[in-house]
């Protein structure tokens, strides 16, 4: 998968209570004028009468740094407490050198309080550079939902990492500071109910979903009926060709509800939809080491290890969040093909839900504890399989890939995948490092496990596994090949 960070930010210095004596802050102005004239009128011998040791320790600077005879009025506490520093540094500068702003900028209650503003539904169009560079036809409209509520995160449209982000910025993650905050937790049954909803068809679209489908996907009742007929006609006409025979054989007997997911992914452009269906069939034939494992029992081991996991809460745009703890991935226990199969199997079941088809998915990867030996084991051919699936061989709308806590050698992973990526996919990879402020514009930290940069409860794969198993049993199949 793609995008990065492993740096951990340290907290800024906190002001110490005893570093600035109270008396130094508020000199007496009335006394100041009297004492100044007194000092100028009195000869230097006045000094010996005043505690000789204190003048001897730093006589000249004392007078120069603060000509007001505050030393005379209160010699012992001020000089003896910190003779060298009090004299050399102007007390007022000490306030600036031990600032309170560090404390103000550090606590990320901004994060907690940020949850409401970011949910603004009216968002600017995305499909930025990617759409232009790919010269998408006018039938494919921009997706407003691609943009975060308050501006795009740190993206890597060209495949190169943002150094500022990679270094993690200066802002510490909220985990340490906010771990004591009471975060709402979900019961096992509540999580199962959530997974039941996102794995099951939702039937009739809500008015808001219909509006989103029309504005983003060009979908209306009449368009849907018209394009379904056109697609079926194309499947019939292409059945006589060598390429079209396999496509028609696979899709010819499918229900309209199955074909709709492909049409939605391509915004009801029938020609592009047919190309995706062809790529889908080709992928299954080409990568049988992956597709042969597409059964519940085939992917169960990977899902039990949370490869991948599904957050039991949607993001701020109403999208399902798929999670990978890439740093804990052991290639010897779970192969890349097994992990890719579990990802694909899970996605196949998630797109049974019409809302997921319309809103799409986001993927969150943490690279904390990711060792360079793990990066070295990754092959270009493995990354090619993943990229092929994501950008043309699966009927899903992937709206963002967020990478956090990546090490410097994450660039090795990007270098393997970049040659196979189109600009549109590359522009949706967001590299955050340890500075997660932009991530929180998409997903609230209260809902993220600590491992993924949040303050929420740890992820438990069991509710998802049980609900997935029961859902498949209700459908009467354990394989995506039988999904219809």
Residue 167, domain member (yes or no): yes
- Burial code (b: 16+ CB inside 10 Å, e: under 16) for 194-228 equals bbeebbeebeeeeeebeebbeebbbbeeebbeebb
- Residue 165 belongs to what H/E stretch? helix 163-166
Q: Are 475 and 310 in contact (CB under 8 A)?
A: no
- Quote the CA–CA distance of 318 and 442 in Å, as a whole number: 10
- Quote the CA–CA distance of 270 and 228 in Å, as a whole number: 8
Say whether pLDDT at 17 is over 90: no
- Do 147 and 93 fall within a single domain? no
Which of 124-133, 304-313, 434-443 is the least confident region? 124-133
Residue 259, domain member (yes or no): no
How many other C-beta atoms are found inside a 10 Å radius of the C-beta of residue 118? 16
User: Left if phi > 0, otherwise alpha if psi is -120 to 50, otherwise beta: which for 360?
Assistant: left
Say whether pLDDT at 9 is over 50: no
The CA-atom distances, in angstroms, between 376 and each of 2, 372, 393, 418, 433 are 15, 6, 27, 16, 20
- Beta-bridged to residue 325, according to DSSP, are 366
Best-predicted range by mean pLDDT (79-83, 177-181, 454-458): 454-458
DSSP class of residue 428 equals: T
Domain end: 29, 63, 97, which one?
Answer: 97
Question: Could you report the per-residue pLDDT of 219-251, keeping only the tens digit for each?
Answer: 999 999 999 999 999 999 998 887 788 999 999
Per-residue model confidence (pLDDT) at position 181:
54
**Roughly how many angstroms between the first and final C-alpha of the chain, as a whole number?**
28
- Do 165 and 35 fall within a single domain? no
Q: Are 392 and 134 in contact (CB under 8 A)?
A: no
Question: pTM score, two decimals?
Answer: 0.66
Question: Could you report the per-residue pLDDT of 35-76, keeping only the tens digit for each?
Answer: 444 444 444 444 444 444 444 444 444 444 444 444 444 444
* Segment 361-386 mean pLDDT: 92
- Quote the CA–CA distance of 366 and 439 in Å, as a whole number: 12
- Do 456 and 396 fall within a single domain? yes
Domain end: 45, 63, 97, which one?
Answer: 97
What is the sign of the dihedral through the CA atoms of 382, 387, 388 and 390?
positive
- Do 44 and 143 fall within a single domain? no
- Do 91 and 176 fall within a single domain? no
Per-residue model confidence (pLDDT) at position 304:
96
Which of 235-249, 278-292, 327-341 is the least confident region? 235-249
- Quote the CA–CA distance of 19 and 401 in Å, as a whole number: 46
* Segment 363-370 mean pLDDT: 94
The angle at the Cα of 198, spanning 193 to 201, to the nearest 5 degrees, equals: 110
Per-residue model confidence (pLDDT) at position 93:
37
* Segment 101-112 mean pLDDT: 35
* Segment 472-481 mean pLDDT: 70
Instruction: Extract long-range pairs of 51-58: CB within 8 Å, 24+ residues apart.
Output: 51/75, 51/76, 54/79, 54/80, 54/83, 57/83, 58/83, 58/84, 58/87
* CA-based nearest residue to 261, from 148, 353, 138: 353
Residue 11, domain member (yes or no): no
Residue 242, domain member (yes or no): no
Rounded percentage of the chain residues whose pLDDT exceeds 90: 52
Residue 254, domain member (yes or no): no
Question: Could you report the per-residue pLDDT of 152-202, keeping only the tens digit for each?
Answer: 444 443 333 333 333 333 344 444 445 445 566 899 999 999 999 999 998
What mean pLDDT is reported for the chain?
A: 73
Helix 256-265 crosses helix 221-237 at what angle (to 10 degrees)?
A: 100
Per-residue model confidence (pLDDT) at position 374:
87
User: What's the domain range around 78?
Assistant: 17-97
- Do 132 and 26 fall within a single domain? no
- Do 454 and 374 fall within a single domain? yes
Per-residue model confidence (pLDDT) at position 229:
97
Per-residue model confidence (pLDDT) at position 86:
42
Residue 260, domain member (yes or no): no
Per-residue model confidence (pLDDT) at position 203:
81
Is the bond leading into 188 cis (omega within 30 degrees of zero)? Answer: no
Question: Could you report the per-residue pLDDT of 294-317, keeping only the tens digit for each?
Answer: 999 999 999 999 999 999 999 999
What is the domain-level CATH number for residue 365? Answer: 3.40.525.10
The angle at the Cα of 274, spanning 268 to 275, to the nearest 5 degrees, equals: 110
Total domain count, the chain: 2
Per-residue model confidence (pLDDT) at position 143:
59
- Do 31 and 131 fall within a single domain? no
- Do 462 and 378 fall within a single domain? yes
Residue 143, domain member (yes or no): yes
- Do 476 and 354 fall within a single domain? yes
Per-residue model confidence (pLDDT) at position 282:
95
Residue 126, domain member (yes or no): yes
* Segment 416-435 mean pLDDT: 93
Per-residue model confidence (pLDDT) at position 170:
39
- Do 361 and 477 fall within a single domain? yes
Domain end: 97, 113, 140, which one?
Answer: 97
* Segment 377-404 mean pLDDT: 93
- Do 70 and 197 fall within a single domain? no
């Amino acid at each position: 998968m793609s995008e990065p960070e492993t740096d951990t930010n340290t907290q800024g210095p906190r002001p110490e209570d005893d570093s600035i004596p109270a008396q130094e802050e508020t000199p007496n102005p009335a006394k100041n004028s009297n004492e100044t004239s007194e000092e100028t009128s009195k000869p230097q011998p006045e000094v010996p009468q005043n505690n000789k040791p204190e003048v001897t320790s730093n006589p000249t600077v004392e007078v120069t740094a603060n000509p007001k005879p505050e030393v005379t009025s209160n010699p012992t506490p001020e000089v003896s407490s910190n003779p060298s520093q009090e004299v050399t540094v102007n007390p007022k500068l000490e306030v600036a050198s031990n600032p309170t702003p560090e404390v103000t900028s550090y606590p990320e209650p901004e994060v907690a309080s940020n949850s409401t503003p970011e949910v603004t539904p009216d968002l600017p169009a995305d499909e930025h550079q990617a759409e232009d560079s790919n010269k998408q036809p006018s039938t494919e409209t921009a997706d407003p939902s691609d943009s975060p509520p308050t501006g795009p995160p740190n993206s890597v449209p060209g495949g190169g990492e943002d150094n500022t982000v990679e270094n993690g910025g200066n802002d510490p993650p909220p985990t340490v500071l906010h771990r004591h905050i009471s975060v709402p937790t979900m019961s096992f049954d509540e999580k199962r109910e959530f997974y039941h909803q996102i794995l099951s068809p939702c039937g009739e679209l809500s008015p808001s979903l219909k509006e989103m489908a029309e504005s983003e996907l060009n979908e209306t009742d009449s368009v849907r009926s018209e394009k379904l007929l056109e697609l079926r006609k194309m499947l019939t006409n292409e059945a006589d060709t060598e390429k079209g025979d396999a496509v028609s054989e696979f899709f010819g007997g499918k229900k309209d509800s199955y074909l709709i997911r492909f049409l939605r992914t391509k915004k009801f452009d029938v020609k592009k939809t047919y190309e995706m269906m062809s790529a889908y069939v080709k992928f299954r034939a080409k990568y049988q080491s992956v597709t042969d494992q597409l059964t519940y029992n085939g992917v169960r081991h990977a899902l039990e290890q949370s490869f991948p996991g599904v957050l039991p809460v949607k993001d701020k745009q109403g999208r399902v969040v798929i999670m990978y703890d890439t740093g804990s991935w052991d290639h010897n226990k779970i192969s890349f093909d097994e992990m890719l199969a579990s990802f694909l199997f899970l996605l196949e079941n998630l797109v049974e839900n019409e809302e997921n088809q319309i809103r799409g998915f986001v993927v969150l990867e943490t690279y904390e504890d990711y060792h360079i030996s793990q990066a070295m084991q990754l092959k270009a051919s493995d990354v090619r399989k993943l990229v092929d699936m994501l950008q043309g061989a699966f009927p899903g709308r992937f709206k963002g890939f967020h990478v956090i806590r990546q090490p410097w050698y994450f660039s090795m992973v990007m270098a393997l995948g970049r040659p196979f990526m189109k600009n549109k996919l590359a522009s949706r990879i967001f590299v955050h490092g340890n500075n997660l402020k932009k991530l929180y514009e998409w997903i609230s930290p209260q809902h993220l496990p600590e491992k993924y940069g949040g303050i929420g409860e740890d992820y438990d794969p069991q509710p998802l596994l049980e609900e997935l198993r029961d859902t498949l049993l209700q459908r009467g199949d354990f394989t995506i090949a039988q999904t219809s």
